[in-house]
Amino acid sequence: MPEKPERRWLKHATPHTDLREFVDRADKAGELLHARGVHWDLEMGALAQAISHKRNEVRAVLFDEIPDYPKGFRVLCGGTNSSRRVALALGFPEPRSPLDAVRAYRNRMKEHEPIPPRVVKDGPVLENVQRDLEVDLCKFPVPRVHEEDGGRYLGTDDIVVMLDPEQEWVNAATYRNMVHSKNHTGLW
C-alpha cells in the first residue's frame, strides 16, 4: 500500500456543494487512497474490504479508470467511514479521536435549526437529469461487492428519501440499492 500523503486539514466555513467537492477536500486532507484499473466485478469489493477489515480510521478508496467504462466514471468507497471524513463532511474541526466527532455533532444538534428546502432552476444538482426510459443505470460502474450478492449494488452507504404515494409521509433511511435492469432498482 502506498505511503499516506501529507495531511492538510482545512476547516471550511461552508459545506461542500457536491460530491466532487467533498472528494477534492478529502483528497487534500490525505483521506483518499486512489486505485486505478480495478474491475467492478468483485475486485472493488475485495479491495475495499481488505483495506478496512478490522481497522478503524482508514482512508476511503476512490476507484478510477474502471475497465469497460469511460474515463471520469469513478466510484467512492467508504466516503464517511472515519471520524475524520465525517468531520470534514460536516465542517467540524479535525478530530483527535472518533469521540471528538461525536461531541462536535452533539454540540451542533443542541443548536440545530433545520434549513428549509430551496427549489432551484439550475446548479450542479440538475446537471444530469434523466427521466423514465432515458434512465440507464448500466452506464455507471456499479460494483458487485460480494461473491454471493444477487447483483450489482448502486448504493450501500447512502440515504434514500421516499415519499409514500398514498399517505404522503416521508421515510429516510439507509438501504442497499441493487440494480435489476437499466431503469429498475430494488431496496433491501
Per-residue pLDDT tens digits of the chain, which is 188 residues long: 555 555 566 666 677 888 899 999 999 999 999 999 999 999 999 999 898 877 888 999 999 999 999 999 999 999 988 999 999 999 898 899 999 999 999 999 999 888 888 888 888 778 888 999 999 999 999 999 999 999 999 887 778 888 998 999 999 998 889 999 999 999 88
Strands 184-187 vs 177-181: parallel, antiparallel or unpaired: antiparallel
Listed residue (87, 93, 8, 81) closest to 49, CA to CA: 81
The residues with which 172 forms a beta bridge, in sequence order, are 161
- The grid cell for 60 is 476511503
The string of DSSP codes covering 48-101 is HHHHHTT-SSPPEEEEES-TTS-TT--EEESTT-SHHHHHHHHTPPPPSSHHHH
* Predicted TM-score of the model (pTM): 0.83
